[in-house]
Amino acid sequence: YMLHVSITPKPRQYIVNDQKYIHLNKLVWKCTSKQISCLGHLDQMQILYEKAFYPKGLPLEYQDAISQLQIDVDSTETPKSPIQCDEQYTIEIADQIYITAKNLFGVSRALATLSQMITESPEQQYAPNQYSIQKSSVADKPVFKYRQLMVDAARHYLPLKTLRRQIEALAISKMNVFHLHLIDTQSSAFKPFTQPADQFVKSGFKYGGISYQFDRQNLLQLIAYAKSIGVFVLLEFDMPGHAKSWRLVNPAIVANCPNAGYSSVNPIVEETFTYIKAFLTDLIYVFTENQLTPMIHLGGDEVDHTCWNEDTEIFNWMRKEGITTSMMWQRFHKKVGEIIETLNPDTVKFYWQESFENDNNMENSVIHSWNEETIVSKAAQRNINVIRSFGWYLDLNQPAEGRYAFQMSWMDFYAVDILANIQPQYQKFVLGGGPCMWGEKVHNGNIDEQIWPRSFAIAEILWSNPPDRTITNELKNRLSDSICQLLNIGIQTGAFRPYEPCPGAPGAR
C-alpha cells in the first residue's frame, strides 16, 4: 500500500523508492555544515515546522520507525537577497530522513515539503499521535527566484503577530519575500527614530492616546524572525504620490493641492529630502543590522500630475525652469536615488511600473508591474529586472467577475503566465512576482482568509511554473490539502469548496 502524499507547490522530482511506508517517531534533529553542528540556526524553523509535522499531537514511539532528521548544509551564511539565493534542496527518506541544501533558506524549503510528506496510513486515521512516511526521494528548486506577498499596513493597523503569521505562511508555501507597504494616504505604519523623520509619529493611527505604529526595533525583529525561517523582507516607502498623511508631519513637505487631495510631496523644498533621508536611514539600518542587503520599494504608483500644477508655487517654479510635471518627477526620482547611494549603494531599489513609464532612470532597479501585462516584456527587453503582480490582486474581484465567489478567483490566478510573450533571451530579467493584499477592506480579523489559500495557487506558479494550467481534480485536492498545512501552523485560512476535516482537527466535544 502506498500513502496518499500531497505536495504543493509541486516539486520538480518526487520518486517513490519503496511501495512500503514506514512509521515515524518524534524526530531528533541533527544539522551539520562543514563538519560543524548548525542546529542552533534552526531553532525557529523547528518550532514552526513541528506544528506542521505533528498536527495530531507528538508521535507515539514505535520499535521500527524513523526517528532521526539529518540536515546537511553547505553554508550557514545567510544569502544577502533573494536574487543571490540558491534554494535547491534534496530529501531522501530511508532508514532516517536526509536533507541537503546549499543554505538555510533551502533547508526551510525542504522542511516545507517534508511537512507534507509526513502523513497517516489508513489504520492511523483513527489514531491520534500516529504518523507514517513513504520511502521516497525529492530533488527540487524554484523556477523563479523572487516570490513575494505584499501586505498593506497603512490602511488598517496590523499587529506584529499578524505580520508574523503571514511570514510563516510564506515559509510553508515556499514563498520567499514578505513585502510590507508601510505608508500611504491614510497613515504611516512606521515611526522612524532618526530626526526629523521621528515626526512621522504624528501620521500614525491613534486611539486613546496610543499611536499604532511599528518602531525601528519592531522592524528589526520582524526581519530577523523572517530570516530565521527562510524569508526575506522588502520594505515599501511610497512616494512621491499618496502623500496626504505626510501633512500631519509637516505641511511644508506636501504640495498644496486640495483639489488633487494633497496627493504628492513638495519636490522643490530641501526640507522634503531631509525627511526622506532620515526615514530611509532607518529602513536601511534594519537590514544592515541583520546582515542583509537592503531591499527598499520606493513606490511611484498613481502619481497625480495635476497636484503639482495646482500648487502655484510649484507651478511657477516649473515654468521658470521650463520643465513639465513628468520632468519634475524625474528630478525627484534622481534625488532620492542619490540619497540611497550615499546611505547604502548596495540597496536593491524597487519601483511600481509608472516610475518606469515616466522614463525615470531604472539602473540597478526592479520594476513592479501591477496594472497591465506588457510592462513585463517592455522592461525585460531593456534588460531591466521586473516582477509581476498584475492579475494577482487579492483585494479585487478581478479577474473574477465571472466567478460565483471571490474564493474561486484562485483559478484565474493559476492561469497567469508571467513569461507570456517574452523571448527566451529576455526571460532571465523576469525575477518572479506575487500577490498583493491591499488593506482598504482587510484588518486583523479577516486578512488570513483573504490571502490564503488563494495565494497557494500563486506559490505553485512561481515555484514550479507548470506548463499545463488545466484545473484538474488532482490540483484541487492538493490545494485543499494545503489548507490543512496553513491551519496546522495557526493561519485562519479560508476554504474554497466542501472538504473533509484536517488530521488533528478537534472533534464534536
Query: Catalytic residue numbers?
Result: 302
Integer Cα distance of 305 and 59 in angstroms:
62
Q: Is 148 left (phi over 0), alpha (psi -120 to 50) or beta?
A: beta
Exposed, middle or buried by CB within 10 Å (0-12, 13-18, 19+), for 378?
middle
442: its cell numbers: 482587510
Of 229, 54, 45, 71, nearest to 133 (Cα)? 54
The C-alpha atoms of residue 190 and residue 209 are separated, in whole angstroms, by: 17
Strands annotated E in 232-292: 232-236
Cell of 183: 505608508
Phi, psi of 365 (to 5 degrees): -130, 165
Alpha helix (H) residue ranges in 372-472: 374-381, 410-415, 447-451, 454-464
3-class SS at 86? coil
Closest to 125 measured CA to CA, from 25, 65, 56? 56
Cα–Cα distances (Å) from 88 to 67, 72, 218, 292, in that order, read: 24, 13, 31, 20
- The distance in angstroms from the start CA to the end CA of the chain is 33
Instruction: Write the CA distances from 314 to 185, 248, 277, 318, integer angstroms.
Output: 21, 20, 21, 6
180, β-bridge pairs: 151, 235
Asked if residue 159 has a cis previous peptide bond (ω within 30° of 0), the answer is: no
